[in-house]
Structure 1
């Protein structure tokens, strides 16, 4: 997954979830934040960030914030990119082979899962979650309470009952981490739902990514600790 027209900047402030003030080439610019999570440990005053420039006159903002340097880590924080990298990864023959159908944004009961996939003998629903929260090499999800996430996990369990396979894939938007675990302190209900889903046969996976200023690609599996 490649980005175009990447510029380096310095984070100033985040007035709300959707915009950030970033200094680019000595000028303060208003940037769209492509992640509605809290990201407080990432977007600290003075942090080096990366933005994608878009010259579409119909857009309200010219720049989108897509990456940040935290310590020595390059972290992608574009929550819209994780589905794209999983789609590319699967199309390259990873996780599921002999795919005959891959349908993004597929409805099931009261949820809309990120992918529905068929092979000759299998029918599979997949939900994808991006992960940017890291501390001492351990990455966690979520970084804010997510009732929507709990609903998705519970309905993946219903998929199993109806004879489908079900996956939840946590895309860690950085590399060189120790393991993934649910963020019990932030949202205990999500952690409990994930534990129950594992017992009910939902496949819970985590993968890390090779992240550069202008690209992100899935790298390898990461240990999951429920």
Structure 2
């Protein structure tokens, strides 16, 4: 996924109300409020003074013209925009970078399933077999090289796991794909101390036949690309 235009560099002042952040633009020194498309806690990724990178919208009707895309943390660039993971995983699947989920004939997005939910991606084989795929964004790192999910309590995430297990019981295939939006992690595990209920839901889903995979990204101001498998430590 390439950014459509060069990103704008800035320094973080603060993040607040979950979806807002104040930054100081490097080029002009102007302080502006930007959109933060991330509902999580962003633990470790909101240090005042950190360099951030912003995309600039050309939509005149937008109240906030900048969106926060990347942050420099722990010596690496980290993608924090949770609007991108579905597209990134879709690109990786189409390119054959997730071999375990290859061989599909068609891919659909945001298909209704479960209990009033929409699955992120639905893969359909030539014989009609279906694979339901949920995507989760990962950017928490508390120990070098080890990514963790989630960074805050996610009842919605636990619900998705239960719905994937329901699909397996109905005779379909289902998978959870964790997208690690940082280049400095080679392993991933669950942050069970942050959300024990999610950990329990994950265990139950795996026992019920739900597959789980983790993939990592290269992250630059030019774009983000899924480029490797990340070892998933249950």
Cross-structure match for 1:124: 131
Q: Does 1:113 align with 2:119?
A: yes
Whether the 8 Å CA contact 2:114–2:166 is kept in 1: the answer is no
1:62 and 2:103 equivalent?
A: no
Identify the range of structure 1 (92-101 vs 128-137) with the bigger mean alpha-carbon deviation.
92-101
Once the two structures are superposed, residues 24-52 of structure 1 have per-residue CA deviations (whole angstroms, 9 ceiling, x without a partner) of 02110110001121113111110110000
Whether 1:190 aligns to 2:195 is no
Deviations 1:90-112 (Å, cap 9, x if unpaired)? Answer: 11133333422211001112121
Unaligned runs of 5+ in 1: none
1:177 Cα deviation (Å)? 1.4
* Equivalent residues, number: 226
Counterpart for residue 35 of structure 1: 38
CA positional deviation for 1:89: 1.1
Aligned match of 2:221:
213
Further displaced range: 59-68 or 86-95: 86-95
* Residue in structure 2 matched with residue 53 of structure 1 by the alignment: 56
TM-score scaled by length of structure 1: 0.96
User: Secondary structure at 2:42's aligned position in 1?
Assistant: coil
Matching of residue 101 in structure 1 with residue 125 in structure 2: no
Structure 2: runs of 5+ lacking an equivalent: none
Residue 23 of structure 1 pairs with residue 24 of structure 2: yes
Which region of structure 1 is more displaced relative to structure 2, 37-46 or 154-163?
37-46
Q: What is the RMSD of the two structures over their aligned residues, measured on CA atoms?
A: 1.2
**Counterparts of 2:41 and 2:112, CA distance in 1:** 28
- Of the three residues 157, 161, 167, the one matched with 1:159 is 167
| 1:171, distance to aligned residue in structure 2 (A) | 0.0
More divergent stretch after superposition (98-107 vs 200-209)? 98-107
Q: 1:84 aligns with which of 82, 87, 91?
A: 87
Q: CA deviation at 1:200?
A: 1.5
